[in-house]
Amino acid sequence: MLHINGLTYRIGGRVLLENASVAVAAGHKVGFVGRNGTGKTTLFKLILGDIAADDGSISVRPRSRIGTVAQEAPSGPESLLDSVLAADTERSALLIEADTATDPGRISDIHTRLADIDAHTAPARAASILAGLGFDEASQARSCSDFSGGWRMRVALAATLFAAPDLLLLDEPTNHLDLEATLWLESYLASWPGTLVVISHDRTLLNTVVDGIIHLQQLKLTRYAGGYDRFEKTRSERLANEAKMRTKQIAEQKHIQSFIDRFKAKATKARQAQSRVKMLARMQPIASVIEDRTVTFDFPSPDPLSPPLIALDDAAVGYDEDTPILQDLDLRIDMDDRIALLGANGNGKSTLIKLLSARLHVMKGRLTKSGKLTVGYFAQHQTDELSPTSTPLQTLSGLMPNAIESKVRAQLGRFGFGADKVGTAIGDLSGGEKARLLFAVMSIHAPHILLLDEPTNHLDVDSREALVFALNEYDGAVILVSHDPHLIELVCDRLWLVSDGTCKPYDGDLGDYRKMLLDARRGSGKSGAKTDSGKSRKQVRQERAQARAASTDLRKAAKQAEKKVATLEKQKEKLEAKLADPEVYQGSTAALQELQVKLGEIKSDLAATEEAWMKAEEKIEGVEG
């Protein structure tokens, strides 16, 4: 379907692609990955013919239709449904011609073709796609101009999917979606019958939808079989093998060079030495393994506070004193909570986040919180509030007026800003770099709660993994709104559902929620439906929730044991290093004995703590398994 051969492209003197080649067979689905700024979107423009390559060729199977989401979202007076239906240009043209044609033969041909392309089912198919992307029946009849840019981009995506092109190119299709629409899109694309190339940093999508990965790195395109997890494993193994081969080659080169140096001046060995010179010249060098620098995040640990951090009792919140968005809120947040907010866009997730961050206040009921509580709040729109002419160093210096410059730089360093970036104008930073700057800003005062509203929109896969690690290491509470299922599953152990004007704990996991949504979209979301075990889905969800509740104390104990093991390991290493110093044995015998006794105590404590950790993990598996 798609062949890229020897492609080279330069922009502003910078090479993005150099002699790159790859092929995608018809009917295959591939994910296109690579660090931000490497040229993924540029390659899409080359495929679409929007820009021309400097060298090489791109070919698509003749008469194949290429589809991609339009850069300009629809905004006219047409209804959402009509805008999507218009994407099938053949159907639209045939319907117009059917109203004006007079020749009986042509009329027959038109209606035959309309039947062939299932024109009569088009409104139902278009409505189904719009529903999957979050538009109810009433919304589908409204004008495009009634909706914000983000919602209109969903309409553009719906139109592209409805047109059913032979080759579908999608560039970060989940960025404008909420979790609910993302889950639907994953299911839809997994059964997509055409050829798909998708740029995405959504690990779950890349594992569930595609059958191959194309990796753009060091100006080349490399094809891997399987989803993202398999790509990561295969690539790491290849890099390890290349490193071993390079080490072996360098050793061999040194051995040959040593022979040449020793014997090139001896007449009896001159021929052999010359032969080895040619051998050395023929050896193809194995490139050194150059890994992209991985960004790390490090949220500072807050001082402990007595629970609860925040409690809501019969609370209501909204923007208008007479019209609450959410009410009947009875919720509690403790230091060790990891909570994801579920619910479609518009249901009130951001409203709840603003209430917890004190940007909104309760209209009725009660909100209580610790007087020493500090909250870190992240929302993507905050990037618009950053001064484009200021630098990260200037921005944080203004927010930390009493801190010396080294402390400000240290805070920026926690989120991947080295000396080469702290002086860059914010307007010149990438979206991911701006997001990392917001993380640095929000965590200046070591907050007890992190409120994260779509934190991953501009982060690549590696940065998302770094965020997962940092959040799991963080000692405070995390409240997360995200369309990234992978992030939710690895970070959060509790789910709250925001719907029907309130927010309540959800008694299931993300898999249950996904199934509930898909069943509801198919019209079969019935609470009494039975599972293979004969129990209702509600019963299964309740049992799972009870199992998770029973394991809460065990998980806390396991986490504490794990941290203690890490601390004891460090203490043990320090003592062993001291005892390895010969000078210790020339000093006081009493001091030496004290060190040895302390080391013995630590080893004993470490063994006991490791045993407790293992037992806690075994019990967790027994309860949750």
Give me the helix-helix angle, 179-190 and 149-163, nearest 10°: 10
CATH architecture of 310-506: 3-Layer(aba) Sandwich (3.40)
Report the predicted TM-score, pTM, of the whole model to 2 decimal places: 0.68
Give the pLDDT band of residue 329 (cuts 50, 70, 90).
very high
Q: Which range in 79-88, 95-104, 308-317, 420-429 is most confidently predicted, on average pLDDT?
A: 308-317
Which residues pair with residue 58 across a beta bridge? 4
Beta-bridged to residue 369, according to DSSP, are: 310
From its phi and psi, is residue 241 left (phi > 0), alpha (psi between -120 and 50) or beta? alpha
Q: At what angle do helices 122-132 and 179-190 cross, to 10 degrees?
A: 130
How far is 91 from 110, CA to CA, in rounded Å? 10
Q: Residue 29: what pLDDT?
A: 92
pLDDT digit string, tens, across residues 481-508: 988 888 888 888 889 999 889 999 988 8
| d(C-alpha 270, C-alpha 254), whole Å | 18
Report the pLDDT value the prediction gives residue 288, as an integer from 0 to 100. 45
Q: Which pLDDT band holds residue 620 (cuts at 50, 70, 90)?
A: low
Q: Reading across the β-sheet that carries 338-342, which strands appear in turn? A: 375-379, 449-453, 477-481, 338-342, 494-499, 502-505
Residue 23 φ/ψ, nearest 5 degrees: -135, 145
pLDDT confidence band for 328 (50 / 70 / 90) = very high
d(CA 346, CA 500): 11
pLDDT tens for each residue of 249-278: 666 667 667 666 666 665 555 555 666 666
Name the nearest CA neighbour of 373 among 475, 431, 302, 291. Answer: 302
Q: Tens digit of pLDDT for each residue in 388-405?
A: 888 989 888 888 888 888
- What's the whole-number mean pLDDT along residues 310-321? 88
DSSP-derived letter for residue 269 is G
Alpha carbon distance 76, 40 (integer Å)? 31
pLDDT classification of 220: cutoffs 50, 70, 90: confident
Tens-digit pLDDT profile for residues 31-62: 988 877 778 888 888 888 888 888 888 888 88
pLDDT band for position 612 (cuts 50, 70, 90): confident
- Mind listing the pLDDT tens digit for each residue in 549-602? 555 667 777 777 888 888 888 888 888 888 888 887 778 888 888 888 888 888
pLDDT digits (tens, 9 = 90+) for 356-378: 988 888 998 999 998 889 999 98
pLDDT, tens digit, 9 for 90 and up, residues 469-485: 888 888 889 999 988 88
Decide if pLDDT at 240 tops 70: no
CA distance 118 to 91: 9
Q: How far apart are CA 199 and CA 180, in angstroms?
A: 20
Q: Tokens at residue 572, please?
A: 């043990």
Q: Is the pLDDT of residue 448 over 90?
A: yes
The mean per-residue pLDDT over the stretch 375-392 comes to: 84
Secondary structure of 179-235 in HEC code, one letter for each residue: HHHHHHHHHHHHCCCCEEEEECCCHHHHHHCCCEEEEEECCEEEEEECCHHHHHHHH
Give the integer Cα–Cα distance in Å for 343 and 496: 9
* Per-residue pLDDT at 65: 85
Question: Residue 517 to residues 28, 126, 227, 524, 525: CA-CA distances in angstroms?
Answer: 27, 19, 24, 10, 8
Q: Which residues pair with 496 in a beta bridge?
A: 341, 505
Question: Cα separation of 101 and 413, whole Å?
Answer: 70
* pLDDT exceeds cutoff 90 at 229: no
The more confident residue out of 604 and 536 is 604
Residue 350: both structure tokens together = 């951001």
Q: Is the pLDDT score of 542 beyond 70?
A: no
CA distances to 25, 125, 208, 214, 370 from 229, in Å: 21, 33, 10, 13, 42
Give the separation between CA 152 and CA 142, rounded to whole angstroms: 12
User: Residue ranges of the domains in the chain?
Assistant: 75-162, 232-282, 310-506, 507-550, 552-624
Distance set, CA 273 to CA 110, 116, 281 (Å): 81, 76, 13
Letter for the amino acid at 302?
P
pLDDT at 289: 43
Peptide bond into 308 cis (omega under 30): yes
Q: pLDDT at position 567, please?
A: 86
The answer to whether the CB of 81 falls within 8 A of the CB of 127 is: yes
Of 407, 356, 350, 401, whose CA–CA distance to 379 is shortest? Answer: 350
- In this predicted structure, what is the pLDDT of residue 290? 42
Give the CATH class of 552-624: mainly alpha
Burial status of residue 406 (CB atoms within 10 A of its CB: 0-12, 13-18, 19 or more) = exposed
The mean predicted confidence, pLDDT, of the chain is: 81
Say which residues have a Cβ less than 8 Å from residue 461's Cβ, sequence separation at least 6.
Answer: 33, 201, 203, 206, 228
pLDDT of 335 strictly over 80: yes
Which helix (H) or strand (E) is 573 found in, with range? helix 552-579
Q: Which pLDDT value is given to residue 49?
A: 86
Distance from chain centroid for Cα 336: 23
